[in-house]
Amino acid sequence: MRSIKGLVVAVEAIVLLALGAANILSGQWLGGAIVVGLAILAAACAWVLWPSDHESSPAGG
Amino acid sequence: MQPPVDGHHPPEGISGSELRRDVSVWGSYMWGYAAVGADIYTALGIITLAALGLAPLAFLAAGIVFALVGLCYAELASAYPLAGGGQYFTLRGLGDLSGLVAGAALVLDYTIDISLFTVVAFGYFNYFLPWITFGRHISDFTTTIGPIHLAWLWLVESVVGILILIWLNVRGIKVSTNFNEIIGTIAIVAQTIIVLAGFILVWKPELVANEFLFDRPSLSQFAFGSSLAIIAFVGLETISQVAQETRRPATIIPRTSIGLVISVLLFAMAFSVLAVGLVHPTEFRGHEGDPVALIASKIPVIGIVAAPLTAAIGALIVFISANSGVVSSSRLSYSMSQFDLLPAWFSRVSKRFATPSRAVVVFGGVALLQTIFAFFTPGQPGKSAAIDVLADLYAFGATTGYLLVFISLFVLRMKDPFTPRPYKMPLNIRMTYKGNQVWFPVLGLLGFLGVLFFLVMVILTHQYARIIGPLWVIAAVLLFTVYRRKRGLPMFKTLPRDWETATKKVLLEAEEFKSLEEYEAALNEHRARTGESSINLPGTPR
């Protein structure tokens, strides 16, 4: 379950980055900049949500 | 809910060893996400209607300030890993009266959280009303009493919803971690699908540019909208509420806090940008209760399935978020009464259910009254004013509480440089204060100014919050003085507490042995240099 969140947001980052690049290439600078900004935020989010080996069990909470 | 046992009988009570430390990285994150992840489902419509084409900037302004609040809480919660959150940090930094004001302000917001999120949860539920009532919408279940346009069915649903939350919390029935985890994951996946499908299939960057340029709000509208945007981020501090139950808090809390800040900021920005490039802001009128479902319905191909699915998920996670308001208000008031800031009556635990049932009933009751008040407030014809009134009320408590927490951050950095801070807010200036080397937090100062700005905006532009917020705090201070007088305790003086022993005990219980060694070494060095026997914090016995 943990890995799904990180994976989904990582996919979101990649797709947004591609969309942002497409916008920039088609001359939509504002739209491109906004979407690339969101892609960077999504990449940071995916990095934080990505499970690492040293984490404890998912049961806590 | 297991109540914290922080006590006023120093030093045994302060550290509260009855709370088991079994919250992991993911448990800590999901606690925060349960409180904050649903906020965008509530905030999107209200804020887009207020800030129009500049709604994304309103979210960004509030998001930056709240990122700083999140970092401040990450520092304080990892340094002082006890239940109580902002109230506890303020009590420790500034003393009893300030701790009371911060606690009262935050409790007010939690009670509004219960009201607002329950109302919005049923807003999403009412998406399905035409399916049940053969085409009738919630606006068809409205009656007009003079200037009041009472959405009576929505009011009945909300009252029943709050009563269910009170019952669940009095009985001690918790949202299980696994359930929380599943719902959180579904929410993130659903939000991602809507964001991606919306951006790919239907988002128009030229519409965003047009909105930015030609659909700008006035300055006061933008100020109102950005101060409302606080709704999208309040709850970030929930992680500090469970700090006492978190394993290895020094390691875990900073990471989960930063993760929560980024993920909440991501979805708040993505949805607001998507909204502005997808529909005209005024289309949210009448959809304040189900704004994300409106966005989903506009997406071609998947919209027909995504909209009802979004409404169902929205109803569920917003209701869970309302529940976190009940948990937080009772947890906080319990902690306050343990420190003699509120009468011990609030901390009485039900013998039958082992829950702080009195606090749950009182603050759930307050939420109930607020909801009724909001529904009976006059509004525009054909439209209930409930969400507008509750949203207006929301920001006063958070901004007041966070302002005091930032001041406490400065004071604790100066007066208590001995407690190890496994995480410090970035950007600090080294200086000497009373012979000790301390670090002044530059980002903390920016956060303080940002929160102060929002508090001023709330007072200037929120017609209900600027009256009810201060009245609530004054009522809490009056209750405090009456209670202290009755107990024969000093009314405006901070009670003596042995923070040093408490800190050692907390670090030991949290198994933060390295921090404990650092703390003892710093104190010994200070004592050897100055000859002083105690640290200089409010309430520390001389």
Confidence bin at A59 (pLDDT 50/70/90): very low
Q: What pLDDT digit, counting tens, does each position of B483-496 carry?
A: 999 999 988 889 98
A13 in contact with chain B, both atoms CB, cutoff 8 A: no
Confidence bin at B266 (pLDDT 50/70/90): very high
pLDDT at res. B25: 63
**Per-chain mean pLDDT for chain B:** 88
B259:A49 CB<8 A: yes
A34 in contact with chain B, both atoms CB, cutoff 8 A: yes
B266:A5 CB<8 A: no
Is B412 within 8 Å of B389 (Cβ atoms)? no
* Burial class of residue A11 (count of CB atoms within 10 Å of its CB; 0-12, 13-18, 19+): middle
**Cβ–Cβ contacts within 10 Å for residue B282, how many?**
11
Interface of B with A in 18-37 (CB under 8 A): 22-28, 30-31
Residues B276-300, mean pLDDT to the nearest whole number = 93
Q: How many residues does chain A have?
A: 61
B269:A9 CB<8 A: no
A30:B196 CB<8 A: no
Residue B344 structure tokens: 């011990």
Interface of B with A in 174-193 (CB under 8 A): 177, 180-182, 184-185, 188-189, 192
Pairing mode, strands B428-433 and B436-441: antiparallel
Say how far apart CA B415 and CA B440 lie, in whole Å.
Answer: 11
A31:B269 CB<8 A: no
A4 in contact with chain B, both atoms CB, cutoff 8 A: yes
Say how far apart CA B41 and CA B44 lie, in whole Å.
Answer: 6
A55 in contact with chain B, both atoms CB, cutoff 8 A: yes
B23:A61 CB<8 A: yes
A27 in contact with chain B, both atoms CB, cutoff 8 A: no
Say how far apart CA B273 and CA B212 lie, in whole Å.
Answer: 11
pLDDT at res. B233: 86
Element (H, E) at B438: strand B436-441
Say how far apart CA B240 and CA B92 lie, in whole Å.
Answer: 15
Residues B358-377, mean pLDDT to the nearest whole number = 96
Taking the alpha carbons of B258, B261, B266, B269 in that order, is the dihedral positive or negative?
negative
Interface of B with A in 128-147 (CB under 8 A): none
Say how far apart CA B36 and CA B261 lie, in whole Å.
Answer: 9
Say how far apart CA B313 and CA B41 lie, in whole Å.
Answer: 10
A1:B182 CB<8 A: yes
Element (H, E) at B62: helix B55-79
Element (H, E) at B32: helix B25-36
Residues B259-286, mean pLDDT to the nearest whole number = 93
Say how far apart CA B14 and CA B501 lie, in whole Å.
Answer: 9
Between chain A and chain B, the number of residue pairs with CB atoms below 8 A apart is 108
B205:A28 CB<8 A: yes
Residue B354 structure tokens: 């082992």
Residues B195-208, mean pLDDT to the nearest whole number = 94
Residue B268 DSSP code: H
Closest CA to B120 of B42, B206, B194, B200: B42
Is B126 within 8 Å of B381 (Cβ atoms)? no
B54 in contact with chain A, both atoms CB, cutoff 8 A: no
Q: What pLDDT digit, counting tens, does each position of B132-173 carry?
A: 998 999 889 999 998 899 999 999 999 999 999 999 989 887
Q: What is the reported pTM?
A: 0.90
Set of chain B residues whose Cβ sits within 8 Å of the Cβ of A31:
203, 205-206, 208-209, 277
Confidence bin at B20 (pLDDT 50/70/90): low
Rounded to two decimals, the ipTM of the complex is: 0.88
**What's the farthest any 2 CA atoms get from each other in chain A?**
49
Interface of B with A in 260-279 (CB under 8 A): 262-263, 265-266, 269-270, 273, 277
A56 in contact with chain B, both atoms CB, cutoff 8 A: yes
CA distances from A42 to A10, B29, B159, B254 (A): 7, 17, 38, 19
* Residue found under tokens 């020094």: B250
Confidence bin at B18 (pLDDT 50/70/90): very low
Is B236 within 8 Å of B69 (Cβ atoms)? yes
Confidence bin at B26 (pLDDT 50/70/90): low
Residues B391-408, mean pLDDT to the nearest whole number = 94
CA A49 to chain B, closest CA, distance in angstroms equals 7
